[in-house]
Amino acid sequence: MAEQLPSVIASGAYFSLSLSLSLSLSLSLCALPNHHRPTGSAIAIAVTVIAGQLRQGEAGTSEIFFRKLKTMSEEPPPIFHVEGIHFIYVKRNSLYFVATTKFNVAPAMMLELLHRIANLIKDYTGVLSEESIRVNFVLVYELLDEVIDFGYGQITATEALKAHVHKEPVPVATEAVALGSRRLDKKKSVPSNAPNKPISLRQHGSTGKNEIFLDLLERLTVLFGPQGSIVRCEIDGAIHMKSFLHGTPEIMLGLNQDLQVGQDNRSFTGLVLDDCNFHECVNLEAFEGSRSLSLRPPDGEFTVMNYRISGEASGFANPLPFKVSIAFEETGTPGRTDVLLKLDAEFPMKLHGANIVVRTPLPKGTSSCGHELGTPGHSFEYKKEEKMALWKIPKMMGSTSAYLRLRVSTAVEDQASVKKEVGPISMEFEVPMFVCSGVNIRFLTVTERGRKYTPFRWVRYITHSDSYVFRI
């Protein structure tokens, strides 16, 4: 029996509009005053579908969600409870997709549903952004009507929805948007005919480029001890594919030949994954023997494979990308302590890290914080209310070091007490063309029986921080 689904919200705020369908669906685009808007949020979409009955007056759940964001110094966990309501959300491209319910539901199922809704909107509108949802709200409305029906999840596959969704998407002109470490100038998304949506180049004779994109993305969860030892280390990896291939070709994807799956293989000297899972279109017949995957990709962006690795970082093929060192220096001035930070890039010098942010919590009694940057191009911000020092580095080459001196003034003259209140230090970053695990795409071949096939193939490796923390 399928689980009954709760209301769903994709959050933000600019204007207010409320619609309702004769089916059990209501859609609201809600506005909030400027001082209530959380950073990076633009449109609020509230969808309420409960047991086949249209329920009015629940738009207030978006206001509760916004209040929660505003009152927390950091983003709330993906699942939380406020005023008798369970909130389950994911954040994609600075938009919040939120499910709300007063009943017990499977959290993993709801998170998966929200991710699929976000992917569907992206597939059908061309880009997942505030503007694309604003101008295509009728199309989004139609998609949600097909995905959730009478309180139960229905079709979420892009390909399967083609025959049921007939609204043409409105082209959206977007500015250059970040894709990994690069910025790509995206042109207007041009819709295809309704029976062939989402945008597809599978028809023979298509004038579009014959190409395929493959991203190997790893997110790091690392906790360093006070002496630099690694207390916890985990890698969550995924292989994402986006196909613009003509026809219906077969793709062969080769991974490391020495790859093993299962913690029982920890004594093995090669690459060991704790566990992994694959998209339903993947044929695993050759995986056990040659570590290769065979698939015929569906329309739209999808995840070929997810994997997880935990254990000692010393067993990884590449070192962890960054290391932070901290020292305290007495200045001789009462109430003032200098905090010296050193950031080392541990990856090869031909690579670079991007969008780096080093967050250093300071003592609650801090009255002011000056700074001295050792490298041009870096920037510093001190958030007085949060007592947080932010060191921002747009780009940092591998095998280099960067320095920051913080001049911390407090009402407490005892330096020992100041040391206890500094930290822990956390980092955000991305490193293109680098992964710690050593997972490698050995080959990517595209074949179609009966004709020559020479598409463009693009493969990228990206490492992101998920939780990268240094205890002091």
Contacts by residues 128-131 (CB-CB < 8 Å, ≥ 24 positions apart): 128/92, 128/93, 128/95, 129/93, 129/95, 129/172, 129/174, 129/177, 130/12, 130/14, 130/42, 130/43, 130/94, 130/95, 131/172, 131/174
Range(s) for CATH 2.60.40.1170 in the chain? Answer: 211-317+434-470, 322-432
**Which CATH superfamily groups domain 322-432?**
Mu homology domain, subdomain B (2.60.40.1170)
How far apart CA 421 and CA 412 sit, in angstroms, is: 11
If 0-12 CB within 10 Å is exposed, 13-18 middle and 19+ buried, where does residue 335 land? middle
CATH number of the domain at 211-317+434-470, please? 2.60.40.1170
Range(s) for CATH 3.30.450.60 in the chain? Answer: 7-177
- State the number of CA atoms in the 13 A half-sphere of 355 facing the CB: 15
* Beta strand 456-470 pairing with 211-224: parallel
DSSP 42: B
- Calculate helix-pair angle for 137-147, 107-125, nearest 10 degrees: 140
DSSP H helices, 13-94, are 60-71
How far apart CA 32 and CA 39 sit, in angstroms, is: 13
User: 165: Cβ–Cβ under 8 A, 6 or more apart, which residues?
Assistant: 124, 139, 142, 143, 146, 194, 197
DSSP H helices, 72-106, are none
Per-residue pLDDT tens, the chain, 472 aa: give them: 444 444 444 443 332 233 333 222 333 333 333 333 333 333 333 333 322 223 333 446 777 887 777 777 777 788 888 888 888 888 888 888 888 888 888 888 888 888 888 888 888 888 888 888 888 888 888 888 888 776 667 778 877 787 778 777 887 764 433 333 333 344 444 343 333 333 443 444 444 578 899 999 999 999 999 888 999 999 999 999 998 888 888 999 999 988 988 866 665 667 889 999 999 999 998 898 889 999 998 877 899 999 999 888 777 889 999 999 999 988 777 888 899 999 999 999 999 999 999 999 999 889 999 999 988 999 999 999 999 999 999 999 999 999 999 999 988 767 777 888 898 999 999 999 999 999 999 999 998 876 667 788 999 999 999 999 999 8
If 0-12 CB within 10 Å is exposed, 13-18 middle and 19+ buried, where does residue 34 land? exposed
pLDDT attached to residue 193: 35
> Is the distance from CB of 199 to CB of 191 less than 8 angstroms?
yes
What amino acid occupies position 430?
E
CATH number of the domain at 7-177, please? 3.30.450.60
pLDDT attached to residue 181: 34
Bridge partners (DSSP) of residue 449 are none
Measuring CA to CA, how many Å separate 391 from each of 42, 357, 401, 427?
27, 6, 14, 9
> Is the distance from CB of 371 to CB of 405 less than 8 angstroms?
yes
What amino acid occupies position 327?
A
How far apart CA 158 and CA 177 sit, in angstroms, is: 24
**Shortest CA distance to 468 belongs to which of 268, 244, 188, 231?**
231
> Is the distance from CB of 146 to CB of 164 less than 8 angstroms?
yes
How far apart CA 304 and CA 291 sit, in angstroms, is: 14
**Shortest CA distance to 358 belongs to which of 456, 465, 438?**
465
Strands of 49-158, DSSP E: 79-82, 85-92, 95-101, 148-149, 152-153
Tokens 């989402």 locate to 198
Residue 192 token pair: 């295809």
pLDDT attached to residue 24: 29
How far apart CA 222 and CA 233 sit, in angstroms, is: 4
How far apart CA 259 and CA 269 sit, in angstroms, is: 10
How far apart CA 375 and CA 402 sit, in angstroms, is: 6
How far apart CA 290 and CA 269 sit, in angstroms, is: 18
**Shortest CA distance to 313 belongs to which of 429, 234, 399, 428?**
234
CA 37 to the chain's CA centroid: 21
What amino acid occupies position 450?
G
